[in-house]
Structure 1
Amino acid sequence: MDNSSALPPAAQPLSIMSTAGSQVVLPCSWKPHQAEVGPSSCHVQWVSPPFTVFEQNSEDKWQQERFDGRLEVPTVKLQAGDCSLIIKDAQIEDTGRYESFMVVGGARSMKTRVFIQSVKLSVTDNKSWDSHHPGEDFVLELHTRLSFTVVFQGRNNSAWQELWKRGDENSERVEKHPVLEQLTIKKLRRSDEGIYKVLNENGLSVSTVQLSVTENSPSFSAHRKQENVPTGEAAKSSCSALLIVSLLVLSFQIHRH
């Protein structure tokens, strides 16, 4: 294949941002280049210079091993002019520049590439803040099947400790959901307050969660007490007081008449 086609000097990449674990679409449309690629072209190539990461010719597909089945260009859309690359379960390592080409020509030795689109992809970790009360359960999103370990740094501690690693058995307090990419930390304590980091196998951050574990405020507790309905002896006293007031009012009305 002739790979000598030069990129247009004024071609500026589109900037796309995503977070780890999300699905991202790198835009591509060959319709504006129809005169160059033909009326129904279906041979697309995506390159992250200098390597080809995905190629599809009709039903024949190939993708770079590290993407592990995460790349797709739907055939029906491709034939209609949409050569956009779908990246499933985006990873931090997917960050980079991507260029799309339509491959045209007859015999393999005569094939050439027509440049379509350049995209600059940036994949960042997920950042969030959460708050719970002692005794509650905390559900930590792992975001992706490629999350490998969870580390924890306590509020007053500079050291990081490993909390969970993929393949670990569930423990009394830490449980991996059997289907979803979620980790549940049960019956929170004040000592569980701090920073939780989800890392992939290469040690890159998938997510960072700041967890606060706080007691109910005194004002909140007092408000809840005021809402309580009297029971037992308190209820009886309230009923007796109401009965006495009712009798006094009735007696006053009789004397008035």
Structure 2
Amino acid sequence: MDRSNWISAFLMQWLLMSVGSSPLSVVVYTSCKVGLPAVLPCSVASHFPSDLTPHIQWQTISDSVFERMGAELFQGESYKDRADVPEEQLVRGNCSLFLQDVRFSDAGIYKSYLVVGESSIKNRIFIQSVQLAVIDHKAIQSVMTGEDLILDLYTDQAEQVIFQNSSENDWTVLWERGAVKKSHLKERGNKLTLRKVSARSAGTYKVLDSEGLALSTVKVTVTEPVLPKETETLQIQSALGKATMSMPPLSLNALFLIFILMIQIN
């Protein structure tokens, strides 16, 4: 066995010891809310030998997700500009897959592999399976009459916001990406502001993607402003003063009777 083959065999044995022999039935479960970043965990060793350039692959059942060998990398079509295994972490044995702006279609089982061997003869060593679940956002908000309601769109995947009033069954389209904006709506970044809400703004808001799936559901209640104590006291005093001034004056007969009663008592 020449020296290059001996080194390759040694590295293969070292990698097998470092990775271990996790059975395919062992799956790590993780979850992420749609539109947020996700990390799919993976670890192979505390540190790679200095003369070894790690080569990592991530795949789903049907797609190639990501591949890195040193500075060279490949991203699957559905993961362009969203998937990465940072090189500086990979050389330290952290082969975790980082996904940005997670989509519902990203849900599923991912498998990681180490690729070893000469250019003509490659072997893949299975590391781990990770099952990713992608869930929507749910929230409850309360806003006072006359204030602004801010809805989080979370991601550029948001295409539409629909609204159902608390007292109605029908849904109405409140906002659509690229459409002419209504005067009471303000879009900035991934947030949508509804200006000066009224009692009719109470209800359910859904942010939908291009497939009509709900990225988020927000139940909104609208309350009346609470008056400060000083203002409330002044209003009560004012009301009492008006009531006193509106009382009719005593008649002469009533005054005469009061005068007679006072004389009898004395």
Q: TM-score, normalised by structure 2?
A: 0.74
Shift, 1:169, TM fit: 3.2
| 2:137 alignment partner AA | N
Q: Tell me the equivalent position of 1:136.
A: 147
The answer to whether the Cα contact below 8 Å between 1:41 and 1:104 also exists between their aligned partners in 2 is no
* Alignment pair present for 1:200 and 2:209: yes
* Alignment pair present for 1:159 and 2:170: yes
The answer to whether the Cα contact below 8 Å between 2:141 and 2:221 also exists between their aligned partners in 1 is yes
Work out which of the residue numbers 198, 215, 218 in structure 2 matches 1:209: 218
The answer to whether the Cα contact below 8 Å between 1:91 and 1:123 also exists between their aligned partners in 2 is yes
Match of 1:31, SS state, is coil
Shift, 1:40, TM fit: 3.5
5+ residue gaps in structure 1? 1-6, 235-257
Q: 1:39 to 1:207 in 2, by over 3 A?
A: farther
Q: 1:153 to 1:91 in 2, by over 3 A?
A: same
The ranges of structure 1 where at least 4 consecutive aligned residues each deviate by more than 4 angstroms after the TM superposition are: 220-224
| Per-residue Cα deviation, 1:23-46 (whole angstroms, up to 9, x for no partner) | 111011111797xx9973421110
* Alignment pair present for 1:66 and 2:73: no
Match of 2:159, SS state, is strand
Q: Structure 1 vs Structure 2: percent identity of aligned residues?
A: 34
* Alignment pair present for 1:226 and 2:240: no
Q: TM-score, normalised by structure 1?
A: 0.77
Q: Tell me the equivalent position of 2:159.
A: 148
Over the residues paired in the alignment, what is the CA RMSD in angstroms? 2.7
Match of 1:167, SS state, is coil
Equivalent pairs counted in the alignment come to: 218
Q: 1:151 to 1:104 in 2, by over 3 A?
A: same
Q: Tell me the equivalent position of 1:45.
A: 57
Q: Tell me the equivalent position of 1:95.
A: 107
Match of 1:188, SS state, is coil
Q: 1:68 to 1:10 in 2, by over 3 A?
A: closer
Match of 1:93, SS state, is helix
Q: Tell me the equivalent position of 2:134.
A: 123
> Which protein, 1 or 2, shows the higher relative CO under an 8 Å CA cutoff with sep ≥ 6?
1
| 2:103 alignment partner AA | Q
Match of 1:66, SS state, is helix
5+ residue gaps in structure 2? 1-20, 242-266
The answer to whether the Cα contact below 8 Å between 1:33 and 1:116 also exists between their aligned partners in 2 is no
